[in-house]
Amino acid sequence: MFEWLDQELAEIRTKRFHVVDGPATDGLRQAVLESPLPAPPSYVEFVLRFGNAKLYRMTSLDLYWLRVYAAPHDAESRAGEPLLYIGGYDESCAYLREETLQPGSEAPIYESTEAGVRKAADTFEEWLNARAARARRRYKRREWAEVLRGPPPFTIEEQAVVRARCQFTWRLVGVAPGGEVLYEVTNGSDRCLPFLSIGIRGRVGNLEGGVWLPVGHITPGQTAVVAKETYRDLLDPNDVEAYQLPDPEPEDRARYWEFRSVS
């Protein structure tokens, strides 16, 4: 079971394309096996082998098509029905229903839809295999070959861009009258960058993404305020929470706009 994932983890040379915790520690294994929740055997096996998992990273975003949580989270449907949230595919959430769980038996997986919650598969293994196959179809043959091969290393100039972005600092300072979020940015590096990539999430809800601040006008040693529309249709500007993204790896060239132009 799940040998296909072991094989992909071994073959893929692109870092963070699949992110898994790895085999459970003795403490986690004991907690899972002794849990009063009679989780389906295929879900338990996945958790013990891989833990939390984010699979099939999107080509131009730091998001994943498929996700699995090692511990179910309490949730409820729009109608108020209690559910166990165990992961999801794209924008759909995957659930177990506690009343369907029996010790040692598989159980259906349900997914959120615009119309409500519907049955998506008879077992967790069936659901995961089907969603993984759908995720793989998102990549063209050339793109999948690049995933397997891994990206070329950074050039000397790209390494300089990575060092420079680490010397930029920023903070949220308010909201403009037009609703744009205001960011105060300081260029502490020795060069200009066209953009600065930062992470964004909502203080409430599950939204998580990023924005690319236009900072090409901020010369070394300067500080300026940048106004940027930030998920206006999805977030109240006052609920925006920004955070530092990790240093980019070579496979992140398309995601970090700092590489769109180097000066």
Q: Which amino acid is at 217?
A: H
82-89 and 92-96 as β-strands: parallel, antiparallel, unpaired?
A: antiparallel
Query: Which domains are present in the chain?
Result: 3-149 (3.40.1580.10), 156-260 (no CATH)
For position 263, what pLDDT does the model report?
A: 43
Question: Residue 241 class from Cβ within 10 Å (0-12 exposed, 13-18 middle, 19+ buried)?
Answer: middle
Handedness of CA 137, 138, 142, 146 (dihedral sign): negative
Q: Please state which of the ranges 212-216, 217-221, 253-257 shows the lowest mean pLDDT.
A: 253-257
Each residue's pLDDT tens digit, 65-111: 999 999 999 998 887 889 999 999 998 999 999 999 999 999 999 99
CA 136 to chain centre: 16
Per-residue pLDDT band for 231 (boundaries 50, 70, 90) equals: confident
Q: Which amino acid is at 112?
A: S
Per-residue pLDDT band for 3 (boundaries 50, 70, 90) equals: very high
SS3 36: coil
Question: What are the tokens at 113?
Answer: 């839809």
Q: Please state which of the ranges 29-38, 49-58, 64-73, 120-129 shows the lowest mean pLDDT.
A: 29-38
Q: What is the DSSP string of 198-243?
A: EEEEESSSS-EEEEEEE-TT--TT-EEEEEE--STTTS-GGGEEEE
**Residue 8 Rama label (left phi>0; alpha psi -120 to 50; beta):** alpha
Residue 121 burial (CB count, 10 A): 18
For position 206, what pLDDT does the model report?
A: 65
Each residue's pLDDT tens digit, 145-175: 999 999 999 999 999 999 999 999 999 999 9
Is residue 98 within 8 Å of 110, Cβ to Cβ? no
CA 39 to chain centre: 25
Torsion of CA 74, 77, 79, 80, to 10 degrees: 0
